[in-house]
Structure 1
Amino acid sequence: MIYRPYEYQQTAMQWIIDNPRCGLFLDMGLGKTVSTLTAIQQLMDDAEVSRTLVVAPKKVAETTWTTEAEKWEHLKALRVVKVMGTEKQRRLALATKADVYVIGRDSFVWLVGVYGGNLPFDVLVIDELTSFKSSKSNRFKAMRMATPTVKRVIGLTGTPAPNGLIDLWAQMYCIDMGERLGKSVTQYRETYFEMHKWNNIVVRCDVKKGCEDIIRRKIADICLSMLAKDYLELPDLLTHTVKVALIPTTMAAYTKFEKEKVLEFADEHAEESANVLANSAAGLMNKLSQFANGAIYDEDRNVHHVHDEKLDRLAEIIEAANGNSVLVFYQFKHDIDRIVKKLKGYTVKVYADESQLKEWNAGKIDVLLAHPASTAFGLNMQQGGHYIVWFGTGWNLELYQQANARLHRQGQQYPVQVYKLVCANTVDERAEAALDNKKGVQQSLLDSLNYLIRKHSAVMKVATE
């Protein structure tokens, strides 16, 4: 795909090139990843850098950076290696010749230990800078040791201080080693904040009068902030497919499960008419979708856990939303309990009636779980947020479009970001394709059923020959 950057993306790329240590505070959907990779490619072409390390949330490290590099024509030559897996696999990845090395933030402490704090990279990209906001965390301490050893540092996030400016010190230290906000968090707090204590425990921090502007001015020379509403025509609907990869053992279990269910279905329902067959196929597809979502019902409606890959990716998206409310559409009731448990610490509610709607539009809910069938029509939810995540899309195009229209409608002040969690190499991809092709539910189910029957029948045929 040919990359034709918007003007704001050109500004972001030039900012990275002109500022060796910088923060790029761009809203979700403004293209932080491609802008950063393009700037790195330019710096490599100019022989200013040769090796880049990207530290990112695990799921982002697994997919986003490699996917973006493969997607754009001008980045095809960029060699991106994922430093993931077991320690042996990570060490092998580090030994591989590449331009960009991507590691999960949970492995960063290990990496700094491997190199004794002296990173052999020219550029350090911190994807989701807010992950390093705690000055007491081990990952920040590792970053504090490592950042002086690289020439360039790029901090990426949407909003660096979703919970207030008190969170800003550690993040800025990762970039400039305390040059702007001081060498210690204690100094930062004493200079800019009124500390309210109870029994010698800090219970509240208030910014001193006039200090908010002082803080922002101090970091303005290296931090570029962009809000989506300022750079995109409003309102807009931006859709993102988030590929969720299953680990090999889980993928093998899914493949076996799919094969058994499809061949069993073919034997039992071969003589049904198209209408009856479509209804029966819906049950099969639901069973496969449950597995892709991470849990399945047995015949007695007991729930059996399978994996947490979608839950992990959902949590990272909500974290990246930086305090913005998120509307999550679920498919199955067992999704609710698992999501609520995963998002402990957030205000999570399940849509049931008008009371949740009022709370949502008043900004009192962090994450609202809703089934598209119950919220797709007639509800005005645009005041409450502009982020949507589909934990599973289902097959109904009308429900999908109408559910998105709860936020993407007149009165919405921001571009609506829609994230579809699609489990790679599963029935999720068939459902997404059905929505993209705008086919009816019945035809989509029949097409996908025929595809799966042909797929597994062919495998059986080869196996017996």
Structure 2
Amino acid sequence: MKFIPHSYQEYAANHILNNPAAGLFLDMGLGKTVTTLTAIDDLLFLGEVNKILVIAPLRVAEDTWSTEIDKWDHLNLKISKVLGSVKERTIALNIDADIYITNRENVDWLVERCFKNWTFDMVVIDELSSFKSSKAKRFRALRKVRPYFKRIVGLTGTPAPNSLIDLWSQLYLLDGGKRLGKTISSYKEQYFTPGNRNQFVVYNWNLKEGAEEAIHNKISDICISMKAEDYLNMPERIDNEININLSDRIINKYKQLEKDLVLELGEDDITAANAAVLTNKLLQMSNGAIYSENHDVVEIHEEKLKALLDIIEAANGKPVLVFYSFKHDFDRIKSFLKSKKVSATGLEDSKDIKKWNEGKIPVLLVHPAGAGHGLNLQYGGNIIVWFGLAWSLELYQQANARLYRQGQKENVIIHHLISKGTVDEDVMRALGSKEINQNTLLEAVKARIQKYKS
């Protein structure tokens, strides 16, 4: 296919060409991959770089980059996928190629193996926000070899989904600490004040007055940000909340579990870890089943399953993409739909992506963490159902962007199944306010404590 770039893609490609360290904070659907590949092709032709490393989420590394290269006529790039077993990765590293693609879980191994003879002079990080933790092994490993990069490109649609705290490590990989400081501590000290805390544990950081603008100004020379609605003539996105009315018997069971778990924690024991355990239990129950202490699945209700079936039947043969939260959700959905003569398939590999986009999968079941970045599913359907909700705003946004992105021809309908009177309502409100962070979850749990203690 002939590539005729949009003006914003030309601008983004030139930004890469003109900046040895470049951040592209491009909204989902703006074609980050083909834009970056076009710039890489030019840099190779000019002799600016010789060997490029692309780090991406696993499914993106397996499928997206190679698919884009095959798709466009102007790209004559040879790739090697450094994936799989240690033996397979080692063989892939020894293949003569222009671009070597690996998944982010292999970064630590790759740096350790190649550190003494680092030959990659350009690194592309696709999805840069997956390096937002300065404590993660992948960040520390890449930090060791950062001085050897002649060029680096960071791609993401959500650089700071939770807080501008998330920007520091990402910018450090781009510029070595020139703009936001050499340490996360100095960054926090300069731009933030501590928010809620439990002794020495700070749950959230509040921006100082004028800090947000100052941070944006600091990074604006090497980072560009683009929103899809500003550049694309996108179809309409329709968000629909479907309220699930649970019976009094189920609601009473839910409230009893909520009360037992909350009171068992106690206010002094509320941490991010056990607050997450509590809310996950409640989310499971609102979906219709819960894991027992013996890891057995205890069925509670089928109300969301029935609502899902209604949506599938109303779609009248159109494919439906379903996001689920827990393993028992997947099993229950598949079993329930099978009993109703409806075929549902999980997303396993690139073959499933191809079949979906060809309209050969009526119902595709996907965990949002497995389809968070880079997967092009917009050609196979326009209907999304959130069977189970999650607290992560980043996963929520990225998952929806699998259908609501460039190339989608129809209005995208996003159904959210909300069990009334449950934690589903809290999550939906938080997603709507775009303020998902650790503090949101903690405050939700603390509110429950006050309710049951009063």
Give me the TM-score of the superposition, normalised by structure 2: 0.58
Partner of residue 122, structure 2: 123
Amino acid at match of 1:115: C
How far apart are residue 221 of structure 1 and its match? 0.7
In structure 2, distance between residues paired with 1:300 and 1:311: 13
Q: Which residue of 2 aligns with 1:94?
A: 93
Q: Deviations over 1:11-69 (max 9, x none)?
A: 00000000011101100110100000000000111111111000000000000000000
Per-residue deviation, residues 376-418 of structure 1 (Å, max 9, x unmatched)? xxxxxxxxx993657xxxxxxxxx99873579xxxxxxxxxxx
Superposition map of 1:39-438 within 5 A? 39-75=39-75, 77-116=76-115, 119-196=118-195, 197-233=197-233, 235=235, 297=335, 309=348, 314-318=368-372, 329=384, 336=387, 340=388, 345-346=391-392, 387=400, 404=412
Alignment match, 1:270 = none
In structure 1, C-alpha distance between the alignment counterparts of 2:217 and 2:112, rounded to whole Å: 35
Contact 2:13 2:36 (8 Å CA) reproduced? yes
Name stretches of at least 5 consecutive residues in structure 2 with no aligned partner. 238-315, 321-328, 349-363, 376-381, 416-454
Q: CA deviation at 1:147?
A: 1.6
Return closer, same or farther for 1:314/1:366 CA change in 2, 3 Å cut-off: closer
Q: How many Å apart are 1:82 and its aligned residue?
A: 1.0
CA contact (8 A) 1:119 1:150 kept: no
Structure 2 vs 1, CA of residues 313 and 306 (structure 1 numbering), >3 Å: closer, same or farther? closer
State whether structure 2 residue 9 is matched by structure 1 residue 9.
yes
> Which shows bigger deviation, 308-317 or 82-91?
308-317
In 1, the alpha carbon distance for the partners of 2:152 and 2:207 equals 28
Q: Is the 8 A contact 2:17 2:43 kept in 1?
A: yes
Give the letter for the 1:387 counterpart.
N
Q: Structure 1 21/118 Cα, relative in aligned 2: closer, same or farther at 3 Å?
A: farther
Q: Which moved more, 1:99-108 or 1:114-123?
A: 114-123
Please name the residue that 2:361 is paired with.
none
Contact 1:388 1:404 in 2 (8 A): no
How far off is 1:236 after superposition?
6.3
Note the alpha carbon deviations across 1:283-319, whole angstroms, 9 max, x for none: 9x99xxxxxx9865499959xx996637677425446
Q: Give the conservation status (yes or no) of the 8 Å contact 1:328–1:367.
A: no
- Flag structure 1 segments of 5+ consecutive residues without an equivalent: 238-281, 287-292, 322-326, 348-364, 369-384, 391-399, 408-465
The aligned length equals 300
Shift in CA distance, 222/38, structure 1 to aligned 2, threshold 3 Å: same
Alignment-mate amino acid for residue 384 of structure 2: F
Q: Deviations over 1:425-451 (max 9, x none)?
A: xxxxxxxxxxxxxxxxxxxxxxxxxxx
Whole-angstrom distance in 2 between the partners of 1:387 and 1:299: 23
Give yes or no for contact 1:129–1:171 (8 Å, CA) kept in 2.
yes
The amino acid that maps onto 1:37 is L
Query: Counterpart amino acid of 2:30?
Result: L
Q: 1:110 to 1:312 in 2, by over 3 A?
A: farther
Alpha-carbon distance in structure 1 between the residues aligned to 2:175 and 2:92: 29
> What RMSD, in angstroms, separates the aligned Cα atoms of the two structures?
3.9
Checking the alignment, whether the CA contact within 8 Å between 1:112 and 1:118 is kept in structure 2 is: no
Deviation at 1:229, TM superposition (A): 1.3
Aligned-partner SS, 1:206: strand
160 and 403 in structure 1: CA distance in 2 versus 1, 3 angstrom threshold = closer
Taking the aligned partners of 1:366 and 1:66, their CA distance within structure 2 comes to: 24
1:412 maps to none
Supply the distance in 2 between the matched residues of 1:65 and 1:195 (Cα, whole angstroms): 41
Instruction: Give the SS at the match of 1:154.
Output: strand
User: Alignment partner of 1:109: what SS?
Assistant: helix
Identify if the C-alpha distance between structure 1 residues 402 and 41 changes in structure 2 by more than 3 Å, giving closer, same or farther.
closer
SS at match of 1:74: coil
TM superposition score normalised by structure 1: 0.57
State the shift of 1:10 in Å. 0.3
| Cα distance in 1 between the residues matched to 2:82 and 2:338 | 42
> How far apart in 2 are the matches of 1:318 and 1:208?
32
| Equivalent position amino acid for 1:33 in 2 | T
Compared CA separation, residues 388 and 217, structure 1 to 2 (3 A): closer
1:117: Cα distance to partner?
A: 6.4
The structure-2 alpha-carbon separation of the partners of 1:404 and 1:136, relative to structure 1 and needing over 3 Å to count, comes to: same
Letter in 2 for 1:329: I
Task: Please state how far the C-alpha of 1:141 moved relative to its aligned partner.
Answer: 0.6
Cα distance in 2 for partners of 1:62, 1:163 equals 28
How far apart are residue 154 of structure 1 and its match? 0.2
Deviation at 1:2, TM superposition (A): 0.4
Q: Give CA deviations for 1:195-235 in whole Å, capped at 9, x if unaligned.
A: 13331111220110011111111101100111111112355
Distance 1:173 1:346, change over 3 A: closer
Offset of 1:170 from its aligned partner? 0.5
Work out the CA distance in 2 between the residues paired with 1:367 and 1:228: 17
Q: Deviations over 1:144-176 (max 9, x none)?
A: 112211110000001211112111001101111
- Check 1:121–1:401 CA distance in 2 against 1; reply closer, same or farther (3 A cut): closer
Q: Is the 8 A contact 2:235 2:410 kept in 1?
A: no
